[in-house]
C-alpha cells in the first residue's frame, strides 16, 4: 500500500507550501494558477487520465511534485500517474496551512481543477 508523503525536511527538498508559492509565482506549471489578487487561493489542474484529450501537460504538477520529493526521476519511462496524483493529494490533506475549497472545484468541462487556499498569509 502506498503511503502519503510527509514534509520531513530531507536535503534538497522544498516543503509543499514554499514549493507551491514558487511555482505559482514562476508560472512554470501549466494550469497551476492564482485565483485571487491577494494570492491566497489557487487552482490545481485535475484532469482524469481516461479523458480522450489528456496529455502529459495535465500531469505536470504531479510530476514536478514527485521530482521535488524524490519519488520520480526522468529515467522512469512510465510513471504511475494515479499514484503521483494520490501523493500530491495526500500532501495537500496533510498540510496544516492549506485548505481544500471543495465548493470552488470545477470537475466538469474541458479543464477540470481543484481549488485550495493558504490558511494564513506568510509574513
pLDDT in tens, 77-117: 778 889 999 999 999 999 999 999 999 999 888 889 999 99
17 pLDDT more than 80 = yes
Q: In this structure, is residue 5 part of a structural domain?
A: no
Instruction: Please give the residue range of the domain that contains residue 99.
Output: 16-118
Does 92 or 76 have the greater pLDDT score? 92
Residue 28 neighbours by CB under 8 Å, 6+ apart: 64
Q: In this structure, is residue 57 part of a structural domain?
A: yes
pLDDT, residue 42, reads: 98
Q: In this structure, is residue 7 part of a structural domain?
A: no
Q: In this structure, is residue 1 part of a structural domain?
A: no
The CATH number given to whatever domain includes residue 113 is 1.10.10.10
Q: In this structure, is residue 6 part of a structural domain?
A: no
- Provide mean pLDDT across the span 17-40: 96
Q: In this structure, is residue 68 part of a structural domain?
A: yes
8 pLDDT more than 60 = no
Q: DSSP secondary structure string, the chain? A: ----------TT---HHHHHHHHHHHT-STT-EE-STTS-EEEEE---TTSTT--GGGGHHHHHHHHHHTS--TT-SS--HHHHHHHHHHHHHH-TTEEE-GGG-B-SSSS-EEEEEESS---
Tell me the whole-structure pTM to 2 decimals. 0.82
Q: In this structure, is residue 56 part of a structural domain?
A: yes
pLDDT, residue 24, reads: 98
pLDDT, residue 121, reads: 65
How many domains is the chain built from? 1
Distance CA 20, CA 68 (A): 11
3 pLDDT more than 50 = no
How does the average pLDDT of the chain come out, rounded? Answer: 86
Amino acid at each position: 500500500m502506498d503511503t502519503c508523503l510527509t514534509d520531513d525536511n530531507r536535503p534538497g527538498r522544498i516543503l509543499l507550501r514554499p514549493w507551491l508559492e514558487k511555482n505559482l509565482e514562476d508560472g512554470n506549471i501549466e494550469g497551476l494558477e492564482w485565483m485571487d489578487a491577494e494570492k491566497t487561493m489557487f487552482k490545481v489542474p485535475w484532469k482524469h487520465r481516461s479523458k480522450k484529450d489528456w496529455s502529459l501537460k495535465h500531469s505536470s504538477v504531479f510530476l514536478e511534485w514527485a521530482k521535488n520529493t524524490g519519488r520520480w526521476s526522468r529515467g522512469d519511462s512510465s510513471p504511475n500517474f494515479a499514484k503521483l496524483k494520490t501523493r500530491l493529494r495526500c500532501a495537500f490533506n496533510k498540510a496544516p496551512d492549506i485548505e481544500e475549497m471543495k465548493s470552488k472545484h470545477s470537475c466538469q468541462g474541458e479543464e477540470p481543477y481543484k481549488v485550495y487556499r493558504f490558511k494564513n498569509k506568510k509574513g
